[in-house]
Structure 1
Amino acid sequence: MSNPFENLSPRPTILQVVPALETGGAERTTVDVARAVVAAGGRAIVASRGGRMVAELAVSGVEHVDMAVHSKNPVVMGLNVERLARVIQREGVDLVHARSRAPAWSALAAARRAKIPFVTTYHSRVHEKPRLKVFYNSVMVRGDAVIANSAYTAGNIRAVHAPEEGRIFTVPRGIDIEAFSQVTPSRMEALARRWGVGEGSGTVFVHPARLTRWKGQTVSIEAARLLAARGLNDFTLLFAGDAQGRDGYAAELEKSIREAGLQGRVRLVGHGEDMAAAYALSDAVLSPSIEAEPFGRTAVEAQAASRPVIVSDAGGQQETVIEGETGFRVAPGDAAALADAMARVVEMGPEARAAMGAAGHRNAAAHYSVGVMCATTLGIYARLISKSRAAR
């Protein structure tokens, strides 16, 4: 694969701005692209309020600037314009890439002041109302390039904001295929001990997502209850994800598990530090979000890990999961349909599950690799920087 920066001299400095670097699709993409910039000979800087992923940046030679870019306070946002402008000037930044709305307003103003290209990526849902929210979100389509993480997201951007067609680029989220397909037995064993998975666990379903209602944990619990009511009890369902301050919702989930009589069979296991091992430990992965996922990283990661997936038949997951071949798609919020799909996975047996997982791996490797995503993104950077430099 050619280097998009090979004809740029000097090699560019790219500043990405993201609220935090804890966990999530936008954060992972930020880290992946920053690494690719460095690998291509450029210089990568990330501005955020910090988080557990900052250590990954340092290992890859990426610089981090600690800044309260997550704040929606108008005074702080105004101060962030000045702070980002100083970073741009001091570090010789060639292009700014914002990945969320609050930091995008400050980054847009700083980039325009410096007369350098401004890029956005729409990772989140595209809201159609109310009007004030639509205006607030409109900063995400004010870039010289507007990157959508799926065709679904791109279509919604066109419908709501109608930017010039030449500024919209669809770049699906990329996954490190090898990272999710090469897991040592020791990692699996360590996680199995921590999560209490072993003989007697039956078919293991993992539902990886932060604990928030729209990710569909309540639907999965109800589906598990329905399975048990049918007499199908040979399974384990694990919710892997942070509460991120939503302790009330976590308590609600625990209560639902108790009331359904599923203690021990259905468990909240907390943040998954090693998600590749979590997928490997599972027999199938659930992503039954009750609202459309703009992309749906979990579904692609699970396929990269050669695991069947059951997802909501909406949004970006409609693009990434091939019905009946790499997994199953069910109506959002339909616990009975989810239970039916889970029952099919149980009844398939190990060999059929392995075949479906292998098909998923081929699908992920062909269409959703991190290499393709980064090369496409760096190509967009290179074209904008070349044009900007020529105009000076």
Structure 2
Amino acid sequence: MTAPLRILQVNSRFAGGGTDNQTLELTAGLRDLGVQVRLSIPEGTRWLPLARELGVPVHAFPARSSLMQAAIRQWRSVIRAHRIQIIHVHQGRDYWPAIMAARLAACGTRIVITRHLMTRPRRFTRWFLLSMADVVAVSNAVLDVLKQELHGPLSRLHLIYGGIDTAKFHPVRTPAALDFRRQQGWEPDHVVFGVVGAFDLPRGKGQLELLDAACRLRAEFPHARYAIIGQGSMESLLRERITTLGLEQAVRIVPFTEKIATVLSALDVLTHPAVGAEALGLVIWEGMSCGKPVIASRLHGIPEAFVEGEHGFLVPPGDAGALAEAMRALLTDPVRCRRFGEAGRRHIIRHFSREILARQVNELYCGLLTNQ
């Protein structure tokens, strides 16, 4: 009988967001495959209880100014104590501490890095990363950036999409979701469009474009409602725009919540009108897994997330008029709206579930160790 793999997942930020969520999803998926997986995250993060709920060993290191020194010490100790075969890194600032920890442990541990962002690697990283680690891109858009920027053997670049917990993100509108709708003042006949994500200056995730689109639709569709779910430095600007446009009754700003599955279940349509760099937009898959049709920007990795015309619509980034037209198309055709949602759910189950993510990453691990 083959001994289970011994893997350490590391993430030194873990403050909430797509990268942190995918760290949890991968850890849970590997656990379900029988992998001996461990997770290292900083102390004090509000996501620590969620990590402990996974039922895998969690190593929390001090979150202070000497963060990286603490991480290197802990990771080296964990590697030695548990004979870790692969350390898997999810944050850019963790690359070199993980490499240092593996070198200091001197156990032959391999390094795997998942690149979750569209941003270009730093200059030093570009020259040396592929000589020390295998790098996973979460979309073809990210892979293209890495091929252009990194120097080294391209055979160490891999494409593995993220994965969604389809049991958690499901299409049945739960009592909690119904309560959430009531709390927001949404009636059963209201059609709710929602955008989920941080809204930091200067542009956020297209929240301003959603408000402009809502203004265009207000007179024609008084039963439409809009939710901005998240937090960030644009909040005062968004509230000012809501007042200026006269949308106080139609729009709700909802603080970030860890119960995002409940919020998505309460929506009718997920909008993701991103205007900045987007590796993929995992919230799109979460919404689709909940059976929601999607309207999103045709930007970077987003078109890889779903099939236009089968699961939703793609619109030019920053084009509030095009966004409004796509929203109008769903408001006037509830049958298509439902069909998009049902097809999207099936698409996630077939191609982008947590189980598929874990299986593909596990195959990568096995291949690396076989060829070591």
The aligned counterpart of 1:302 is 287
The aligned counterpart of 2:34 is 41
**Is the contact between residue 183 and residue 277 of structure 1 (CA under 8 Å) also seen in structure 2?**
no
* One-letter amino acid of the structure 2 residue matched with residue 222 of structure 1: D
After TM superposition, list the pairs within 5 Å mapping 1:193-204 onto structure 2: 193-199=182-188, 202-204=190-192
Pick from 235, 239, 243: which aligns with 1:254? Answer: 239
- Going from structure 1 to structure 2, the CA distance change for 1:163 and 1:332 (only over 3 Å counts) comes to farther
Identical columns (%): 25
**What's the offset of the Cα at 1:299?**
1.3
Measure the CA separation in 1 of the matches of 2:174 and 2:74.
47
**What's the offset of the Cα at 1:57?**
3.0
**Farther-moved stretch of structure 1 (316-325 vs 75-84):** 75-84
The aligned counterpart of 2:227 is 238
Q: What is the total number of aligned residue pairs between the two structures?
A: 367
Q: Spell out, residue by residue over 1:188-213, the C-alpha distance to the aligned partner (whole angstroms, 9 max, x if none).
A: 2222223322246x221011112233
Pick from 113, 127, 142: which aligns with 1:153? Answer: 142
Measure the CA separation in 1 of the matches of 2:349 and 2:277.
23
**What's the offset of the Cα at 1:341?**
1.0
* One-letter amino acid of the structure 1 residue matched with residue 90 of structure 2: R
After TM superposition, list the pairs within 5 Å mapping 1:60-75 onto structure 2: 60-68=54-62
**Is the contact between residue 14 and residue 37 of structure 1 (CA under 8 Å) also seen in structure 2?**
no
Pick from 279, 295, 302: which aligns with 2:264? Answer: 279
The aligned counterpart of 1:82 is 73
Counterpart check, 1:189 vs 2:178: yes
* One-letter amino acid of the structure 2 residue matched with residue 249 of structure 1: M
Measure the CA separation in 2 of the matches of 1:152 and 1:227.
33
TM-score (norm. length: structure 2): 0.91
- Going from structure 1 to structure 2, the CA distance change for 1:76 and 1:342 (only over 3 Å counts) comes to same
**What's the offset of the Cα at 1:33?**
1.9
The aligned counterpart of 1:3 is none
**What's the offset of the Cα at 1:338?**
0.9
**What's the offset of the Cα at 1:182?**
4.9
Measure the CA separation in 2 of the matches of 1:93 and 1:153.
28
**What's the offset of the Cα at 1:134?**
3.7
After TM superposition, list the pairs within 5 Å mapping 1:130-149 onto structure 2: 133-135=122-124, 141=130, 143-149=132-138
After TM superposition, list the pairs within 5 Å mapping 1:199-348 onto structure 2: 199=188, 202-212=190-200, 213-228=203-218, 231-241=220-230, 243=231, 246=232, 248-348=233-333
Measure the CA separation in 2 of the matches of 1:254 and 1:140.
43
- Going from structure 1 to structure 2, the CA distance change for 1:184 and 1:333 (only over 3 Å counts) comes to closer
Measure the CA separation in 2 of the matches of 1:348 and 1:209.
27
**Is the contact between residue 298 and residue 315 of structure 2 (CA under 8 Å) also seen in structure 1?**
yes
* One-letter amino acid of the structure 1 residue matched with residue 53 of structure 2: V
Measure the CA separation in 1 of the matches of 2:17 and 2:275.
18
RMSD (Å), alpha carbons: 2.3
TM-score (norm. length: structure 1): 0.86
Pick from 91, 95, 102: which aligns with 2:82? Answer: 91
SS state at 2:204 partner? helix
The aligned counterpart of 1:174 is 163
Q: Spell out, residue by residue over 1:112-147, the C-alpha distance to the aligned partner (whole angstroms, 9 max, x if none).
A: 33231000000012327xxxx443576765553211
**Farther-moved stretch of structure 1 (82-91 vs 337-346):** 82-91
Structure 1 residue runs of 5 or longer lacking an equivalent are: 1-5
Measure the CA separation in 1 of the matches of 2:59 and 2:294.
37
**Is the contact between residue 198 and residue 204 of structure 2 (CA under 8 Å) also seen in structure 1?**
no
**Is the contact between residue 143 and residue 159 of structure 2 (CA under 8 Å) also seen in structure 1?**
yes
Measure the CA separation in 2 of the matches of 1:227 and 1:348.
15
- Going from structure 1 to structure 2, the CA distance change for 1:261 and 1:338 (only over 3 Å counts) comes to same
- Going from structure 1 to structure 2, the CA distance change for 1:208 and 1:30 (only over 3 Å counts) comes to same
